[in-house]
Amino acid sequence: MEKLEACLEILQHIGEIVTKLLDEQTENVYQDVLEKAIKLVPGAQAGSVLVRENDHFKYVAAVGYELEELQKVTFTVEEEEEWVGRSRNHAILVREDVIRFDDAVLRDERVEMLGNVGGLKKIKAALVIPVRVKNELRLVVNLDNFESSDAFDNNSIIMARTLANLLGMVFKRLELENQLREKSQLLEYMSYHDPLTNLPNRRLFEEFAEKMFTLARRENKALSILFMDLDGFKPVNDTYGHQVGDEVLKLAAGRLERFARSSDMVSRFGGDEFVVLAYDCSKQDATALAARLIKAIEEPFEIDQLTLKLSASVGVATFPEDGDELTELIRLADERLYVAKKSSVKIVAQST
């Protein structure tokens, strides 16, 4: 009875540890759980945790071994399924044939690597704890003993099975958090970037430009806004359709990024309008930059069987000579772009 109570107390303790780790969102929850499991599971002296990433299993935690060296070794899903004995429903396996198994299944330099850094030859028994999510093997915990082949008894297996269930809960929680984090990052990216060209959108441009204006004032540097519009784009859309038009916009965006300076921000404001923020760029330099960008746009666009030729017009406004507010410079650059298109002049950098 005392032994049963002790086991139940230990199991409760494992559950409390996992819950605490989840609540605190520790950096490496697997390492923390593994360390506690080795202390609590009878017979465990060392161990490791492998997690599935795409089509391979990789070491993410280790006790008694050099994790950095173990991480040089990966296993296919098929190899890991062989290791856990193709078990189902969190079945726990005690392996006494560790060396023989690895020699038979791996048959390559990984056996020697595991022998050197993973203590392969020292292991007398391994308690293998598979964790499955929707019947798919996602996580494997190995608890090792270096002294006896019968080091793991029934109590060890009972606790290992409970640990597997708890780790399944941990894995699902961490996986959900990763999915939510990735979705949040994607939504944030989408809110700041144009979905067609992947260029920064107006929102990101304006937030970044405000910071650069502050820097320009402090460092007494010139800052130019180049407002660009593609000439001849509407006939492309009207004649060949929006799919071809979208390809032109994507290719044009790529050219603008390639021929702008590395410090410039190229953004898409919508339609065929692009705006470039050029820091430490005088009006003279901005005019030369605009000419270079126009030349890049005027190179023929090859799309499927089509060869299309377009050009561009640019309005330029420069801080501080044309104004000291972002909205004022954007408005002025837009006005000068309108003048350029009306007068068939490619670049307008001064007000008439």
Domains of the chain: 2-177 (3.30.450.40), 202-348 (3.30.70.270)
Q: What is the pLDDT of residue 11?
A: 56
Calculated CA dihedral for residues 103, 80, 66, 95, nearest 10 degrees: -60
pLDDT, residue 258, reads: 95
CA distance 288 to 314: 11
What per-residue confidence (pLDDT) applies to 200? 94
The strand pairing partners of 128, in sequence order, are 93, 142
pLDDT tens string 107-140: 788 878 887 775 777 889 999 999 888 788 988 9
The CA-atom distances, in angstroms, between 96 and each of 45, 198, 247, 281 are 15, 55, 61, 71
**76's tokens:** 């296919």
Better-predicted residue by pLDDT, 131 or 89? 131
35-48: pLDDT as tens digits: 888 888 889 999 99
* pTM assigned to the model: 0.59
Least confident segment among 166-180, 228-242, 332-346: 166-180
Q: Give per-residue pLDDT as tens, 290-302.
A: 999 999 999 999 9
Quote the DSSP letter at residue 121: G
* Cα angle 180-186-190, degrees, rounded to a multiple of 5: 145
**Distance between CA atoms of 181 and 1, rounded to whole angstroms?**
47
Q: State the average pLDDT for the chain.
A: 86
Average pLDDT estimate for 79-106: 77
What CA–CA distance (Å, rounded) separates 46 from 64?
Answer: 5
